[in-house]
Structure 1
Amino acid sequence: MNAFVRAAETRSFTKAGAQLGVSSSAVGKAVARLEGRLGVRLFHRSTRTITLTAEGTLFLERCRRIFSEIETAEIELSQTRDAPRGKLKVSLPLVGMLMMPTLSAFMRTWPDIELDLDFSDRLVDVIDEGYDAVVRTGDTTDSRLMMRVLGSFGFKLVGSASYFSAHGTPKTLSDLVTHRCLRHRYPTSGLEDWLHDGHGNKITFQMTTAVTSSAIEPLIQLAKDGHGIACLPDFAVQEQLDDGSLVSVMEHAVRHSSTYRILWPSSRQLAPKISVFVDFMAANLFKPRPISADSQPDQADIGAVGRETAR
């Protein structure tokens, strides 16, 4: 049944085998034995893909309920232990590398939890890809998930002092048109919009693009090296603003903001490892002071989380 569920969720015997640590042929034989015992075909097979039959779709839902009951029983037993433990699979945006101080502090606080971190701006399917939690911006639309806000952040137009000395410091939109722009590109929504009016509407203008990047860290470095102006999350460049390697300009013109949320699969019983991770990230990710290794999450908060739809 486990081989069948993994194959159904990944649409691949090979991927299911990789998750289970066995060969694709072993998964195929396990599914064939299950089909023989049930007397029905669970998959349509071709040389490239497998898809569920109507009977397979029905059986998948039953199997998920069975495994959910098993997981609930295991969670109830695990809660009798002194501390949460086990592997925690988390998806974070590429800018998540800037969250490493918080993640490092979490590892010191909960050493029995093994983090499996995937950094990507790809829109992952939390349920089908087996993630315990994901951190993302944007609205939420999947009712299978629970959600909690981690915090909001603004944006700043930044460049090096040497760049502004050579090219002038922009003070108005017309000044900005002549500058070299270092732009962040999202995988789903495209290039980051820099300027917005007070009503949330973007202000379009002709940019001279020097470089585009799917990650923020290269843009920070290029801005420090004097290659142009970048519009970046304020928390991502705070260290550089503090040490003077970057300078913020036209702060009155950058009015938009975004919010990080943490999402996890909805269930009647929340695993302790997910509970402490959600609490810790909410308490520490946007904390203005340095994170202590002794910081403890607020376990009571998780019970107050309301159900929302989630993307």
Structure 2
Amino acid sequence: MPLDRFQEMQIFTRIVDRRSFTQAAEDLNLPRATVTNSIKRLEARLGVRLLERTTRQVKPTLDGDAYYQRCMRLLADLEETEEVFRDTDPQGRLRVNMQGTLTQYFVMPRLPDFLARYPRIELFIGSGDHFVDLVREGVDCVLRAGELADSSMIARRVALLEQVTCASPAYLERHGDPESIEALAGTHTEHPGRAGQRAVNYVSPATGRALPLEFTTPEGIVHVTLPGPVAVNGAELYTAGALAGLGIVQVPRYRVRELLANGELCVVLPAHPPPPLPVSVLYPQNRQLSLRVRAFADWLVQVFAEVA
């Protein structure tokens, strides 16, 4: 049975997104030959070459790029129109990428509830803090913590997580427990003879630079940059550095609640906590928000409201 034109558009746009016939076929659960023959028929019918094929990748021609933009608008309109009238639950494959600690603490323990609620969704979860090219990698949405700087994405905030500044008792014994932001920053010394304050510096995956410590005051947010013996780019390593006595850290309270309760970590400057950490779902702005993504985002809002 020949493919209809909308199916051909779906195949073509997926090839452009993934820059690969093989990966497009896998995403759409189609034989590789079906995808190849569909593009041949499409190009023959239109009388133009839509894709440039090399041994390493596939990319659209100028005509292909123009056709891609029109296809995306048509497919988005079609999906939106069908969802208005479709009296069924969301269905199909949903590919998401989430930060590991958020996934571990909030999402995975409650995932059976989501799958029971939406049994026709096939969920694939990737994990990491790295930048994800959603279109190129075929990801529908990502869950990220922190302030967002990528203007090419649409973000929906799902939570604000309380944060805390903390250090190990051994570290505070060596360096002193600062009683003010000024003392922490070293503008005056409360404990003569003790080594100055240190931080386990967290390197932003987006910028490659160490993030400063942040403290709330009546006048606003104060940023403090401290030297440190080690810099990390992972959440678990960051907490492990504090436990090892390497320096001060600022983390969401949920990650260290038990460590604070059993005394393995101590709160530093409780009168000036870090600002809360935003958590957001992001998806490409040039894409129609599918029913699957909308259902997942709504569920995440509910999850964080219950447990954060």
TM-score grouping bracket, smaller chain normalisation: 0.7 to 0.9
- Partners of 2:238 and 2:244 lie apart in 1 by 10
- Return the match for 2:163 from 152, 155, 158: 155
1:188-211 per-residue CA deviation (whole Å, 9 max, x = no partner) reads: 122221135643352334x122x2
Structure 2 residue runs without a partner (length 5+): 1-7
Q: CA deviation at 1:272?
A: 4.4
SS of the equivalent of 1:251 reads: coil
In structure 2, what is the equivalent of residue 294 of structure 1?
Answer: none
SS in 2 for 1:56: helix
Alignment of 1:228-267 (within 5 A): 228-264=247-283
Q: CA deviation at 1:251?
A: 3.0
Letter of the 2:228 counterpart: T
Q: Who is 2:5 aligned against?
A: none
Q: Are the equivalent residues in 2 in contact too, given 1:194–1:254 (CA < 8 A)?
A: no
**Among candidates 65, 68, 71, match of residue 73 of structure 2:** 65
Q: Residue 232 of structure 1: CA displacement?
A: 1.8
The one-character-per-residue Cα deviations of 1:58-109 (angstroms, maximum 9, x if unpaired) are 22123223433443355346x523x5444332222343234x4344324325
Aligned residues: 283
Distance in 2, matches of 1:12 and 1:180, equals 48
1:80 equivalenced with 2:98 (yes/no) = no
The alignment status of 1:138 with 2:147, answered yes or no, reads yes
Distance in structure 2 (CA, Å) of the matches to 1:282 and 1:96: 13
User: Residues 280, 231 of structure 1: CA spacing in aligned structure 2 closer, same or farther, 3 A cutoff?
Assistant: same
Query: Does the 8 A contact of 2:163 with 2:273 survive in 1?
Result: yes
When normalised by structure 1's length, the TM-score is 0.74
What secondary structure sits across from 1:221 in the alignment?
A: helix
**Aligned-partner SS, 1:181:** coil
TM-score, normalised to structure 2, is 0.74
Residues 43 and 52 of structure 1 are in contact (CA less than 8 Å); yes or no, is this contact kept in structure 2? yes
What does residue 52 of structure 1 align with?
A: 60
2:110 to 105, 112, 119: 105
1:95 corresponds in structure 2 to 101
Shift of 1:56: 0.7
Provide the rounded CA distance (Å) in 2 between the counterparts of 1:195 and 1:179. Answer: 15
Stretches of structure 1 that go unaligned for 5 or more consecutive residues are 290-311
Q: Quick one: which of 12, 34, 39 aligns to 2:42?
A: 34
Residue 274 of structure 1 corresponds to 293
CA 1:242 to 1:87, structure 2 compared with 1: closer, same or farther past 3 Å? farther
C-alpha distance 191-141 of structure 1, shift in aligned 2 (>3 A): closer
- For residues 74 and 93 of structure 1, the distance between their equivalents in structure 2, rounded to whole angstroms, comes to 32
Instruction: Find the aligned partners of 1:177 and 1:286 in 2 and give their Cα distance.
Output: 42
**Closer, same or farther: CA 157–11 of 1 in aligned 2, 3 Å:** same
Q: Give 3-state SS (helix, strand or coil) of 2:202's partner.
A: strand
Which runs of structure 2 are paired with 1:178-257 in the superposition (5 Å)? 178-189=196-207, 190-196=209-215, 198-200=219-221, 202-205=223-226, 207-209=227-229, 211-257=230-276
Which secondary structure does the structure 1 equivalent of 2:221 belong to?
Answer: coil
Relative to 1, partners in 2 of residues 1:252 and 1:287: Cα closer, same or farther, differing over 3 Å?
same
CA distance in structure 1 between the aligned counterparts of 2:28 and 2:90, rounded to whole angstroms: 23
Match in the other structure for 2:3: none
Determine if contact 2:98/2:143 at 8 Å carries over to the other structure: yes
Secondary structure, in 3 states, of the residue corresponding to 2:56?
A: coil
CA contact (8 A) 2:175 2:195 kept: no
Instruction: Give the distance between the partners of 1:131 and 1:75, measured in 2 at CA.
Output: 21
- Distance in 2 (CA, whole Å) between partners of 1:148 and 1:254 is 25
**Distance in structure 1 (CA, Å) of the matches to 2:240 and 2:58:** 45
C-alpha RMSD of matched pairs (Å): 3.4
